[in-house]
Amino acid sequence: MIHAAVNQHAGTPLNDQPGPFGAFGPQGGSHALTFADAVRRCRWIALDINADSFALLLLPSVQEGARLVPCLDSDYPAVGFSKKIATDDEQVVRHVRASTEPLWWSAGEDTPAATALGSLSWTRRISPLAEGTCGIAFPVHAERNQCGLAVFAGERITLAQDMLYDIHGRCFSLFAALTRLRPGHAGPARAMTRRELECLKLTANGYTSEEIARLLKLSVHTTNQYLTQSVQKLNAVSRTQAVAKALRLGLIE
């Protein structure tokens, strides 16, 4: 019954989800989803549950050494809140691959968020994903075995049991729309070279420029050049966003 409730919402078209102005603007609209649209959808969800911060993270399909890759967050177009999240927590990574059960945490027992989240069934308590915060994270899955995590944090989060399923369904719908993005929707991407893709893939797996340079037998300067070119070709604002776009477009795994 719980899974049915989530799947029912997950299959709802994005422009049917509630929001101040419908899906994409005052008239509802049906243009292709963009990063700005996705951030707006996350912001509406955050407002609905009284969260202060949010982040959407992707999980590469590679198994060994995989970590969650920040896609966007409440500091968009910069990446801020995502940097506070433990993206390499092995327990969370395994959970995201295998389950849709929401995860929650609290920095203390006397916060409104701890009271609200602790009363929910079909959720699992974990160590704080971001130090000093309270929050809830929704595993999301899409076609081609793509998966990720929608994270919301704040000491005043309020979330009733019946609302839990609706919020999770909206996260599913948003993630599915993002993973269906095509190069034409994300903005024209010039052809990527093999080296650029190699550097991006290693960045997705958590390697620094110095480590990539050693692995590929390049100078750090050349490695950074490849990564900068990747950001420009993918019309991204940072390496993090370039990795997220490359993952969604199937350029890297």
| pLDDT tens-digit series, residues 175-202 | 988 877 644 344 444 578 889 989 998 9
Q: What is the residue-wise DSSP string for the chain?
A: -HHHHHHHHHTS-GGGS--BTBTTSTT---PPP-HHHHHHHHHHHHHHHT-SEEEEEEE-S--TT---EEEEETTTTS--GGGGB-TT-HHHHHHHHH----EEE-S-SSSHHHHHHHT-SS-EE-S-SBTT--EEEEEEE-GGG-EEEEEEE-TT----HHHHHHHHHHHHHHHHHHHT--HHHH---PPPPHHHHHHHHHHHTT--HHHHHHHHT--HHHHHHHHHHHHHHTT-SSHHHHHHHHHHTTS--
Q: What is the pLDDT of residue 3?
A: 38
- Residue 134's pLDDT is 94
What pLDDT sits at residue 206?
85
Residues near 61 by beta carbon (within 8 Å), at least 6 away in sequence: 145, 146, 253
Check residue 211 and give its pLDDT.
94
Question: Could you tell me if 134 and 113 are in contact, meaning their C-beta atoms sit under 8 angstroms apart?
Answer: yes
Q: What pLDDT score does 64 carry?
A: 54
Q: With contact defined as beta carbons under 8 Å apart, do 240 and 82 qualify?
A: yes
The pLDDT of residue 74 is: 93
State the pLDDT at residue 121. 92
Look at residue 55 in the predicted model and tell me its pLDDT. Answer: 95
Ranges in the chain, pLDDT < 70: 1-32, 61-65, 181-190
Residue type, 182: R
For the chain, domains (ranges, CATH) are 2-180 (3.30.450), 189-248 (1.10.10.10)
Integer-rounded Cα Rg, in Å, for the chain is: 18
